[in-house]
Structure 1
């Protein structure tokens, strides 16, 4: 890539050729930036699957990622797994293994590898200020495209059966990527923020694109989420449906933000398990 700015769906990708990746490999263990509740964290083994860290060719070099895929020849349907703000740590890796056990080629690229070393950060507000707010939307969208292409060329993935699934900040990404990718078959957004500040490098919110999504989207939200009012999510669903788009919304009345994150106090087992089962059924119902 040269130093010229590249336009992708009205977003601007900054020049990356001289930046390189701050994180050249994935972190080990769980994020340091939130309280951990080790006893309840789910740990999925790798029996019957191939799982581990990989390097995905990106525009400016090899991007660290985690891949899990069933044993066998494939090809297998592809799920792009989009992290929270905390990086591709053990929770995200475990999600990939869970998806592989269900028959998917799951790939989780470290989308913030250029902006900061998330493995050393101990404060969520610092991550948001120093990393998340400085990551252009067009950059991670291009990185997800690269991960999808790599899954097909090198990881036994079936490009005709492509989905995206994201949590928290990754839930926001699921909405935006659905509006970007015309060949996507399904998207699942776990409590993704719909509002937020618009900036030159993050010019649109998820709420801005609900009428532009391409694939059916399953939206899983908590009724007790202090940062995402239920009325906002319902309004987004209604606008999407009025535009002829398919959005299935499930609200868990007592669940807070992060109810699927089994390593955090926010975890709610019943809602997390129901949401997971719904997500798998949704993917299959839409050809993934």
Structure 2
């Protein structure tokens, strides 16, 4: 199922899945600009159309760059090892009520460490829900809140979801995530140890939660996320594993100053930069996905949580 309406319609014979090395780097860079609101849809498509890549039409390139969530499911919602449901929670400092996707190991006896999963800048899409299921499959209690709940939830379309999230008050979104973290830490299925993992905007939010809730967050793994505000970095107590894409110029430009601050404040951190990868390389629904590097980053993430949340 194609849930983004970004790409133009393409003929059935053009529906092949192309590999990242067939796509020019400029296309990845332009998609990143588009996804983060720096250029509009028309500009993005016009730039792609001017590439003139031999053997690949505009439709094929655009389709490869934009999410196709049918490609992303690694753990089914009805997998025998997990139980998935939806849960609402109070958020008095945010939009009053939040909602998210709760996934627990099947027949959980007692409690398990919990992990908050934070989406990109477009709401709780199928890829992020699948990440929550992967965590539950690995033995964690996972909860993925949807910032778009005040507007009815993720609309099934990334372009619309991006516009919806942009229309919301950023401070209230952050307050909703903080409320979700506190709820999850105290959830009956939680052992009281709480990690957070997020991607893109969710990477920023993971950094932010580690800084704003130092007594709640026990470990954080931001994937290609920007730092929290300087005034909060000094409050970070949790160990952090930072995952970066080598070709992600926008986020990587923020890393030297952030690393300097982490060192100055004696934060326990480690950072990995994955060679020849683009922003979003863990997202297996687009041409940015790098399977080998994504699997390496994910195995490191699970090991990090097992170490610090046990």
TM-score, scaled relative to structure 2 = 0.70
- Consecutive unaligned residues of structure 1, counting only runs of 5 or more, are 1-28, 195-204
Q: Contact conserved, 1:237 with 1:249, CA < 8 A, in 2?
A: no
Say which SS state the counterpart of residue 228 (structure 1) adopts. Answer: helix
Match of 1:36 in 2: 67
Query: Aligned residue for 2:103?
Result: 68
- Taking the TM superposition and a 5 Å limit, the aligned residue runs for 1:103-114 are 103-114=139-150
Aligned match of 1:6: none
Residues of 2 paired with 1:30 and 1:244: CA distance? 45
Cα distance in 2 between the residues matched to 1:75 and 1:217: 23
What root-mean-square deviation, in Å, do the aligned CA atoms of Structure 1 and Structure 2 show?
2.6
Q: Do 2:122 and 2:165's aligned partners in 1 also have CA atoms closer than 8 Å?
A: no
Deviations 1:31-67 (A, max 9, x none): 5366234574233032121112222333365432101
SS at match of 2:249: coil
- C-alpha displacement at 1:132, in angstroms? 2.9
Q: What CA distance in whole angstroms lies between the structure 2 residues aligned with 1:239 and 1:152?
A: 27
2:212 corresponds to: 180
| Counterpart in the other structure of 1:189 | 222
Shift of 1:180: 1.0
Q: Deviation per CA, 1:149-190, whole angstroms, max 9, x where unpaired?
A: 44355551122x011111000000011100011222100100
**1:93 paired to 2:129:** yes
- Which residue does 2:288 correspond to in 1? 266
- Per-residue CA deviations over 1:111-140 (Å, capped at 9, x if unaligned) read 23225754165537x825x52363233x23
Structure 1 residues 120, 67: CA separation in 2 closer, same or farther (over 3 Å shift)?
closer
Instruction: Check the 8 A contact 1:50/1:69 in 2, yes or no.
Output: yes
After TM superposition, the score normalised by the length of structure 1 is 0.75
Q: How many residues align?
A: 245
Structure 2 alignment gaps of length 5 or more: 7-65
CA contact (8 A) 2:3 2:69 kept: no
Distance 1:33 1:114 in 2: 23
CA contact (8 A) 1:82 1:108 kept: yes
Check 1:210–1:85 CA distance in 2 against 1; reply closer, same or farther (3 A cut): same
